[in-house]
């Protein structure tokens, strides 16, 4: 700032502190007006009150008359949501934990700003930085000037929080257990993945794999989260995008092993049943739930858990006499109706595609290649999900039917060569 602007800046700050908001100071450039308001606001926050001008009228009683047309708002800030989030953070003792982990005053304020920013105004570090400087009143609550906070410091404090993730997760979960008297009975474990728009060459865990958001053309990372029965997070982990989901269970159990819990139940949706490896902790009892494989569910031996309208949820406890494992099978009438609807829609589309293929064998200029109809029918293997198929043959031009052959589950390698007969693959699902 030029030296010639020092005196006008000081006069403008003094005018703002004295309540003379409309006073213009001679010699002060417009570009330094924002700085004058910023320093005046900082002084006001430390004093707690604004001094009145000498010629200001004295207050009479508890009432004042305000001309709304002449009210000016200087540096408006939101403070309600920030106050609630800050009190919750202090109630959990997270500020003392960060100091214990070696955070200094500037790092502590930046870390609290990052966390509360994700709670109140979720966004990137850049968006959080702008929110803290322009729209949030969190600085007044913390007695910290976020306008002087550099964006690089915000990125660095995010790396610091990531480095202490395990300690912070353990501290938060223990505090939540103490506050809400949570009992350690059931642990839920699930995975998902997310994708990067760019190449993500600087991320060693970004790999190409199967995307649950149908973005397999982008590099992925797998996100794992462990929750208790009340929905409070216990642990989290980031795996490679092409990792096999069943293999992540053993790694998560190794992280849970040092905890003080006596018994843990892990529910893993969409993972095939697999016994725990010999290296896994013996204190952990794991339950894998899979909706794809048929389950020996007995409605008469099951217990009614919930009934809402036409939907009933039942559970059955089954003891494996060979391994001694206890399995819990759940059945929902609503889920059953949904699965049957999906099955009917799949069968209708598959049969229509195969019928169209069969009719083309007797029509001119109609392709008889099965590869053309693979996208519509999904292909024998992908459409039937590996279930057994029944193969039938229809003769072409009244020739003797060829000897039936098992369906290979894929299209012919020579699509333009006429085949001896039309192939109709009808999926046969196992009962139960």
Alpha-carbon distances of 411 from 347, 377, 388, 408, rounded to whole Å: 19, 12, 17, 8
Q: For residue 63, what are the β-bridge partners?
A: 60
**Residue 50 placed within a domain:** no
Tens of pLDDT along the chain (432 residues) come to 788 778 888 888 887 777 665 556 566 777 777 788 778 877 876 765 445 545 555 555 677 788 888 887 777 889 999 999 999 999 999 999 999 999 999 999 999 999 999 999 999 999 999 999 999 999 999 999 998 899 999 999 999 999 999 999 999 999 988 888 887 777 888 889 999 998 999 999 999 999 989 899 999 999 999 888 888 888 899 999 999 887 887 777 777 655 444 444 454 544 444 444 444 444 445 555 544 455 567 878 889 988 888 889 998 888 888 877 777 888 888 888 998 999 999 999 999 988 888 887 778 777 655 555 444 444 443 334 434 433 333 333 334 344 444 444 444 444 444 443 333 333 444 443
- The alpha carbons of the chain give a radius of gyration, in whole angstroms, of 34
Q: Are residues 203 and 286 in the same domain?
A: yes
**Domain termination residue (choose one: 248, 272, 293):** 293
Q: If you write DSSP's letter for every residue of 218-252 in order, what string do you get?
A: S-EEEEEEEEETTS-EEEEEEEETT--GGGHHHHH
Confidence (pLDDT) at 115:
95
How many other CB atoms are there within 10 angstroms of residue 170's CB atom? 16
Q: For residue 315, what are the β-bridge partners?
A: 303, 330
Q: Which residues have CB under 8 Å from 391's CB, separation 6+? A: 404, 405, 406, 407, 423, 424, 425
**Residue 264 placed within a domain:** yes
How many other CB atoms are there within 10 angstroms of residue 220's CB atom? 26
Distance CA 343, CA 390 (A): 17
Distance CA 376, CA 356 (A): 11
User: What pTM was estimated for this model as a whole?
Assistant: 0.56
**Residue 139 placed within a domain:** yes
Q: Are residues 190 and 250 in the same domain?
A: yes
The residue whose two tokens read 């040092």 is: 258
3-state secondary structure of 353: helix
Distance CA 94, CA 15 (A): 40
Q: Are residues 190 and 271 in the same domain?
A: yes
Q: Are residues 146 and 192 in the same domain?
A: no
Q: Are residues 208 and 133 in the same domain?
A: no
Q: Which residues have CB under 8 Å from 240's CB, separation 6+? A: 205, 206, 207, 209, 221, 222
Q: Are residues 189 and 272 in the same domain?
A: yes
**Residue 67 placed within a domain:** no
Confidence (pLDDT) at 120:
94
Instruction: Single out the residue of 87, 134, 95 nearest to residue 112, CA to CA.
Output: 95
How many other CB atoms are there within 10 angstroms of residue 347's CB atom? 14
Confidence (pLDDT) at 54:
53
Instruction: Single out the residue of 104, 119, 90, 109 nearest to residue 154, CA to CA.
Output: 109
Give me 144's structure tokens.
């910290």
Q: Are residues 211 and 283 in the same domain?
A: yes
Alpha-carbon distances of 85 from 82, 98, 116, 202, 235, rounded to whole Å: 5, 16, 6, 34, 22
Q: Are residues 284 and 230 in the same domain?
A: yes
Distance CA 218, CA 195 (A): 6
**Residue 211 placed within a domain:** yes
**Residue 242 placed within a domain:** yes
Whether the CB-CB separation of 131 and 33 falls below 8 Å is answered with: no
Alpha-carbon distances of 153 from 3, 35, 95, 147, rounded to whole Å: 30, 22, 18, 12
Q: Are residues 124 and 95 in the same domain?
A: yes
Q: Which residues have CB under 8 Å from 416's CB, separation 6+? A: 369
Q: For residue 233, what are the β-bridge partners?
A: 227
Q: Are residues 99 and 195 in the same domain?
A: no
The residue whose two tokens read 């005018």 is: 15
How large is the angle between the packed helices 125-134 and 105-120, nearest 10 degrees? Answer: 100
Whether the CB-CB separation of 40 and 23 falls below 8 Å is answered with: no
**Residue 349 placed within a domain:** no
3-state secondary structure of 45: helix
Q: Are residues 159 and 188 in the same domain?
A: no
Q: Are residues 229 and 286 in the same domain?
A: yes
**Residue 90 placed within a domain:** yes
H or E element, residue 376: helix 374-377
Total domains present in the chain: 2
Confidence (pLDDT) at 168:
94
Q: Backbone dihedral region of 224: left (phi > 0), alpha (psi from -120 to 50 degrees) or beta?
A: beta
Whether the CB-CB separation of 194 and 213 falls below 8 Å is answered with: yes
**Domain termination residue (choose one: 163, 192, 225):** 163
Distance CA 380, CA 357 (A): 14
Whether the CB-CB separation of 45 and 17 falls below 8 Å is answered with: no
**Domain termination residue (choose one: 133, 163, 193):** 163
State phi, psi for 430 to the nearest 5 degrees: -65, 140
Instruction: Single out the residue of 41, 67, 26 nearest to residue 139, CA to CA.
Output: 41
Which residue segment(s) compose the domain that 261 sits in?
A: 182-293
């Amino acid at each position: 700032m030029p030296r010639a602007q020092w005196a006008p800046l000081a006069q403008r700050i003094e005018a703002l502190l004295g309540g003379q908001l409309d006073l213009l100071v001679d010699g002060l450039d417009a570009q330094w007006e924002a700085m004058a308001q910023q320093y005046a606001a900082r002084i006001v926050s430390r004093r707690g009150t604004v001094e009145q001008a000498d010629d200001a009228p004295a207050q009479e009683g508890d009432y004042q008359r305000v001309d709304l047309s002449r009210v000016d708002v200087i540096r408006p800030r939101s403070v309600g949501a920030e106050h609630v989030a800050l009190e919750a953070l202090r109630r959990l003792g997270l500020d003392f934990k960060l100091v214990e982990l070696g955070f200094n005053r500037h790092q502590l304020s930046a870390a609290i700003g990052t966390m509360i920013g994700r709670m109140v105004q979720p966004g990137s570090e850049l968006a959080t930085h702008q929110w803290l400087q322009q729209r949030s009143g969190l600085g007044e609550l913390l007695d910290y000037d976020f306008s002087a906070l550099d964006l690089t410091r915000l990125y660095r404090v995010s790396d610091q929080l990531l480095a202490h993730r395990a300690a912070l997760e353990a501290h938060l979960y223990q505090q939540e257990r103490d506050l809400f008297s949570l009992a350690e009975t059931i642990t839920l474990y699930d995975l998902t993945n997310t994708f990067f728009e760019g190449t993500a060459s600087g991320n060693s865990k970004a790999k190409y794999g199967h995307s649950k958001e149908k973005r397999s053309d982008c590099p992925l990372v797998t996100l794992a989260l462990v929750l208790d029965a009340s929905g409070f997070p216990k642990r989290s982990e980031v795996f490679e995008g092409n990792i096999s989901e069943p293999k992540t269970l053993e790694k998560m159990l190794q992280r849970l092993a040092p905890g003080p819990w006596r018994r843990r139940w892990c529910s893993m949706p969409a993972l095939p049943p697999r016994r725990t490896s010999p290296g896994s902790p013996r204190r952990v009892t794991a339950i894998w739930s899979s909706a794809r494989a048929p389950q020996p569910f007995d409605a008469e031996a099951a217990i009614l858990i919930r009934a809402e309208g036409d939907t009933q949820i039942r559970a059955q406890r089954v003891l494996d006499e060979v391994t001694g494992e206890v399995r819990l099978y759940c059945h929902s009438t609503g889920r059953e109706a949904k699965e049957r609807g999906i099955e009917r829609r799949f069968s209708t589309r598959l049969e229509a595609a195969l019928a169209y293929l069969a009719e083309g064998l007797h029509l001119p200029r109609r392709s008889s290649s099965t590869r053309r109809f693979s996208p519509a029918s999904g292909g024998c293997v992908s459409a039937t999900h590996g279930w057994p198929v029944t193969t039938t043959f229809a003769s072409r031009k009244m020739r003797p039917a060829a000897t039936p052959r098992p369906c290979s589950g894929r299209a012919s390698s020579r699509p333009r060569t006429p085949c001896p007969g039309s192939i109709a693959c009808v999926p046969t699902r196992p009962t139960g």
